[in-house]
Structures are given as C-alpha cells and as structure tokens.
Amino acid sequence: MKIISNSSCLFHVIIIIIVFLTRLPQSFSTTQSLAVDSILARLDSKRSSPPLQESAAKAVLERLLPTHSHSFLFKIVTKEVCGGQGCFLIQNCNRSSQDGPEILIKGTTAVEIASGLHWYLKYFCGAHVSWDKTGGVQIASIPKPGSLPLVKNGGMLIQRPVPWNYYQNVVTSSYSYVWWDWERWEKEIDWMALQGINLPLAFTGQEAIWQKVFMGFNISKEELNDFFGGPAFLAWARMGNLHGWGGPLSDNWLKQQLSLQKKILSRMLELGMTPVLPSFSGNVPAALKSIFPSANITRLGDWNTVDGDPRWCCTYLLNPSDPLFVEIGEEFIKQQIKEYGDVTDIYNCDTFNENSPPTNDPTYISSLGAAVFKAMSNGDKDAVWLMQGWLFYSDSTFWKPPQMKALLHSVPPGKMIVLDLFADVKPIWADSSQFYGTPYVWCLLHNFGGNIEMYGILDSISSGPVDARISENSTMVGIGMCMEGIEQNPVIYELMSEMAFRKEKVHVLEWLKTYTRRRYGKSIQQIEEAWKILYRTIYNCTDRIADHNTDFIVKLPDWDPSTSSESKKSKLGSFHKLQMISGGRRYLFQETSSDLPEAHLWYSTHEVVNALKLFLAAGNDLSGSLTYRYDLVDLTRQVLSKLANEVYLDAVRAFRREDIKALKVHSQKFIQLIKDIDVLLASDDNFLLGTWLESAKRLAVNPSEMRQYEWNARTQVTMWFDTTKTNQSVLHDYANKFWSGLLDSYYLPRASMYFSHLLESLRKNESFNLVDWRKEWVSFSNKWQAGTELYPVKAKGDFLAIAEALFQKYFG
C-alpha cells in the first residue's frame, strides 16, 4: 500500500512509484518469466476498450450503490502507471461543483476499479459486501453523497503482488450455479469484480458445444443422451466419472445454457476478466468406439456406483496418444472460438484427475501431456493449459517427482499453470520445488459438496499466500478460491479475496475487529469478544483433515452399532471407506478408540457455546441486521448440531447396554434437536430447501423438464447417486445441507426410522437388522427424491427469539 500525491479529476498527474516487488517472483527462470510476461501482454491486448471497461465498472457501482452513482469517477490506466503491475489508485477529486464526483478510482482494468471501489467502501466508509445468501451487503454506514470521507495524503495506490486471482472449482457449477438465471449470474460477476477476481472459470453451456463437435464425428443426438449427465450432475459427466445419470438434457436446456454462457462471457470481458474455458480431456461417448474401432479408447473402472450399473457406470476415455484425441480437442477449441469469439487463451484440462496413466514411465507421461497440449494449441496457437494440481495430492503414490516433472515439463515454458488446489491445508508447492519451475496459483479449497458448516483456517489464509510468494525459488503467479460450493463462511472468502492485493501478512485479530464493524455496521463489544473465540476455535482447524460435514443429523451413520464382530465389520466397511469425489479421496469419519463413529470436531464446543451467548447478548443492538441474522442462525445451528452428535452417541451407548428407557430418551432428544434446528433455519431465507427446488423448476419450460429438474435438485443434496433395494448410494449425503424443509422432511424421518429399528430389536431381544432398516430407508428416499411437494421460500418466525429460546432450552 502506498500513499501518492494530490491529483484532480481534470488533469493527469505524474506518479512516482518505488516498486518493492516485481510482477513475478525474481526466482523464476528467465525463460518462464518471459513466457508468463508474454501471456499477460497478450491477454491485456484482448481486453475491452477503456471506455467500455469504465462503463462496466460504473454499472457495477449503480447496481451496488445507486444513490452514489455520481459520487465516483472511474478511469482505466496503463500498467506503467502502476509500476508494471495490476493496481488500483484511490484519490480525491477537485470538485468543480457540489454535485460533482468526490472520489476518483483508477485501475488497470475494470476489475481493479471495482476492487478499488470495494476497498474504499470497506476501509473508508465501513461498508461490507457478501453473497446475498450469507447476509448480503451492509451499506447503511456509507455517508450520503457529498459527504464521502477524503483519502488522506492525497491518495492511495495498491498493487497486485501476483497477476492472477482465480475463482471456482470444476464442480462449483453443479453444487452452486446449476439453477442460476442471468439475474443471479449478474450479481455473482459483480461480486467477483468487487473481490478482484480476474481469472474465473467459465464452464456454463459447454454441452451445446460438445453436441456440435461430436455430431461432426457422426455421433447422434440420441447417443449423446447417454453421454451427458442431468443438470445437477454435469460436472461429473464432464470429468468422465459417470454418464446418463439424471439425464437426458433437452434441447431447451442446451439452448438456454449456451445463451446464458454468452451473457456471462460478455460481462466478464467488459470488466476486463480473462475467462477460463474448458478443453478436451479425453472423455468420449460410448458410440465413438463403434465409429472408430481402431482408436485407443479404454473403458474406465467404476466410480462410486453401488453395483457397477452400466447405465451410468464406467465411461470411455480416448488416450491422448491417439491422433483422434488431437483432432477432437482441436475441433472443440475451434468451435468455442467460433461460438464466443477470441475471448481467452487459457483452457482447463484435467485428463489425469482420478485417472492415472497406464504406466509410470516418465517418457510416456511426457508424450501424453504433449498430446493434450497439442490438441489445445492446434485450436488456439496461444493456448495455455490450466491444470488442477489435486492429482499430485490425491494420487501421490503414482505422482512421484519423475512423473510430476514429466507431466509439468511436457509443454513449452509458460504454457502450463497449475492450481495448488488444497494449499490452505496441504500445499504441494513446498514439497515439489515449486512444481519444478512451473507457474502455479495458491488456492483455497475449503468447502466440499456445498456443505453448510462453520469452518476454516484464518491464519493459513492470512499468511500462506505471502509465505509461498516470498519463498526461495517461488513460481507463484496467483491466488485462487476453489471451493466446491459457495455461499457459506463469508469471513473466509472476504479475507482470501483481500490477499490478492496484500503483500504482507495480515494480523487476523486486528482484521477481525474491522471486519465485524463493517459486517454489522457498528462496533459492539460482545460481538468482538465472540469473534475472538471463533477465531481460536471454529476458524482455527489445524488437524489437516479435509472438512466434509459429517454431523450425524445430515449424515446419519449407516451401520449396525451392536458390539458383535460381524457388526464391527459392517461398521468398518462404512466408516473406513475412502470416497472419490471431484478429484480426491478423504475420510468421511474417524474412528475413536471406543469403537464409535466420530464426526469431525476440531475445537472446544464449550468455548463456542460461550461465543453464542455473547452473540445473543448483542441481539437488541443488531436485530435489524441481515448479516447478524445469518451469522446468529448459522452459529446456533453449528452449536446445536455438535450437541446432536453427542446425543446420538449417548443413544448408541444406551443401545449397547440394552437400556430401552435411555435409548428412548436420547433418540427422542436427537429427533427434537432436528425439529428445533429446522424451526431455527426457517427464520432466515438463506437456509431454505424451497429456494433450491423452486430455482430448479423455474428453468423448466414444460412439465416433463420440471419433474426432471426437481428430481435432480432433490437427489443431489440427498442420495446423490444410485441405490439398490438394500444399499444406499456410496455418495449419500455428500452434498448434505442444513436447510429448513430438508431436515423436517428427510433427515427427521431417517433418524426416526433408524431409532425405531434399534428399539424394536431390543424389545424383541433380536439382533439389529441393518438390511431391513436400509430397505425401508432407501424406499422412503427414492419416493422423496421423486416427490413434488412444495416447501417455503420465505422465512417465518423471529430468528432472535428462536435462537434465544433454543439457547435457554439446551444450555440455560
């Protein structure tokens, strides 16, 4: 952060800048550095004109703060003004009239201008911007037009320490964006611009492109129906994990999504962003094998089906070494350019994610990588391969240094960028000689399945990107947010976004003090004390376990809790299962020494109960705040959910003691907790099942599509994948949600059935029949997934009164 001299809105000023850091780490090899500089220069040349970008930034302001549309003046400047880097400058205007602009914000792109606007509103006006579903904006603290705070010492310059700020995971499109219309996308792109995101993934509508490409290889629409997944499962069909599940895709869907993608790309380009488009990873329809019998096409193994059902199991992969791979990949890139124009040079491809090459021979791996890149570069001579580095973590037994080097060095210098996807918990950069000289992006993964759980590592976010950038031989060129689902834990994403503009580590406690003032619009002692507790507990997870919400309400253990050896085998089969999803393996449960399941818990629940008490004490001052409502409801939910985990284990212990009375007491308390949490969540519009279902149905243009889309929406957040009469989906509850309506109509009946079977087995003095319980539950779930009953889309009840009553009930 630098202070600059006075300037006016009418005259250009000379800004003398002492650049403390070069655009790229000095340890980059000269070849790599020049190559990345060349990419940046080429992408800069593709950007929209300065007037168009300035207008786009002005439109963001008008949507965010229409009352102040004349209070700011925006101007695009060259990187030379910023010392060769991306930057924004905030200055005071010399006002020629009372109604003239007060603040001048300059930036190298419209994204930098929007980021400068956001920075000014945060740090000079005490405002706050988050997703609508996490409380929305707090702009009441912004002074009226004509009274905006001046920037001291004439102005402020803030540079990007690294050029790129990446956004999205390849599965976010399914867990969060799947049912979005343009109105919702417009809000998201505004949010992205305000957060400084300039390298977003843009995957919407690609099936329409693939249809045109594959039909050019004599594959029919009917054959493609078996290839594409349903709307809520497209991410995994694209990765070759499944086919046909939830489909087929209608022509209406294909046209609708392609039209939406064009609007998305147009807005991204207006704001100066560089969209990342998909490329060919080798995933092909089964029919291609018949049309090209000599092609090197392999049928992959099972990916999480219950019994290998061929209707959606075992997709086909075209080997990159086959000439047909390059031909299809080239055509896909060209078709996108034909449809969208020359909008980017950066393409995502993850051919080897969950799909190891057939041999670990480095020479062979290098040839595969070269073929993947050739398919891109034949379609776009300036193509750059953006690859998730998750495979180096999830399949580390295969990807040893020789294999990693072979893949990373299989393309020309500067033609590959790696996403260090899980750097917030398990960074690869530190143990791979900075990806062996390959440029990489330090990424926050944070969320799995779009689960709702308060969780994070604020210290890692505040220091990790800085440590990586200033480390010896650093090849870091960006930071990124790669969560599987958005609209949760706003504090995490606020801090992570700021790291795109911070060269030094953040003192988290000091930052949290200003964060809470901005988020709630005022400074309240109890809230500040509560956040100190949350910082050292919930937001200080250092156990290096990937946090997937395994609370027993939303992921009821599917096991026989008896103490016999047979039931132990059943339990171990469930709890020690390694599941594959969106690029990796992770434990769903831990096993305790007492042979009981344990949901992920990394903090003192007693301390967090105290934080909740402090939050409630601020209720009279903040009852009208939507950000406070969201945080209070979420924190109360978190506390009660962890209590429910303890109650569940009490019930299991009672069952093992064959204590029917105690089992009744504890099971009824567990069920009552589900009911109470459902009532709590119903008091905030942002925790409603109905919103998700209605957004799915709104995209339908006929009754058939409406039923299909609702089934997709219901299935993704519950059973996820296929079942048999006696077996739940392997992925059941992966995308679990704490939503009112889902608790009452789905999780509650499940718990009731399960405890009913446990009680019945004790009453009859018989062994617990796990198969009978599964039969009843799977049958219920299948009917629920196919259901059409309506759920509320508006909040009901006084959130503060409900939270206070529940606190007194369980902790008073």
Q: Tens of pLDDT along 357-407?
A: 889 999 999 999 999 999 999 999 999 999 999 899 989 999 999 999 999
pLDDT reading at 577 higher than 50: no
- Check residue 344 and give its pLDDT: 97
Instruction: Say which CATH topology domain 164-507 has.
Output: TIM Barrel (3.20.20)
- What are the residues whose beta carbons fall under 8 Å from the beta carbon of 711, sequence distance 6 or more? 246, 785, 786
User: Looking at domain 602-811, what is its CATH homologous superfamily?
Assistant: N-acetyl-b-d-glucoasminidase (1.20.120.670)
- Check residue 10 and give its pLDDT: 36
Distance of alpha carbon 288 from alpha carbon 294, whole angstroms: 10
pLDDT reading at 95 higher than 80: no
pLDDT reading at 618 higher than 70: yes
pLDDT reading at 567 higher than 80: no
Q: Residue 594 — pLDDT band, cuts 50, 70, 90?
A: low
Distance of alpha carbon 132 from alpha carbon 626, whole angstroms: 9
The answer to whether the bond into 285 is cis (omega within 30° of 0) is: no
Distance of alpha carbon 220 from alpha carbon 226, whole angstroms: 11
Structure-derived torsion over alpha carbons of residues 191, 193, 194, 197, reported in degrees to the nearest 10 = 100
**CA contacts within 13 A on the Cβ side of 350:** 24
Looking at the chain, the domain(s) classified CATH 3.30.379.10 span: 46-159
Strands 164-167 and 199-200: parallel
pLDDT reading at 734 higher than 50: yes
Looking at the chain, the domain(s) classified CATH 1.20.120.670 span: 602-811
CATH architecture of 46-159: 2-Layer Sandwich (3.30)
pLDDT digits (tens, 9 = 90+) for 242-275: 999 999 999 999 999 999 999 999 999 999 999 9
pLDDT digits (tens, 9 = 90+) for 295-321: 999 999 999 999 999 999 999 999 999
- Check residue 1 and give its pLDDT: 54
Residue 401 CA to chain centroid, in angstroms?
A: 29
Looking at the chain, the domain(s) classified CATH 3.20.20.80 span: 164-507
Distance of alpha carbon 651 from alpha carbon 668, whole angstroms: 9
Strands 590-591 and 597-598: antiparallel
* Strand, helix or coil for residue 201: strand
* CA separation, residue 334 to residues 376, 379, 430 (Å): 9, 5, 37
Distance of alpha carbon 206 from alpha carbon 252, whole angstroms: 14
- Check residue 99 and give its pLDDT: 79
More confident residue, 586 or 433: 433
DSSP assignment of 740-796: BTHIIIIIHHHHHHHHHHHHHHHHTT----HHHHHHHHHHHHHHHHT-------S--
Q: Which of 20-24, 431-435, 667-671 has the highest mean pLDDT?
A: 667-671
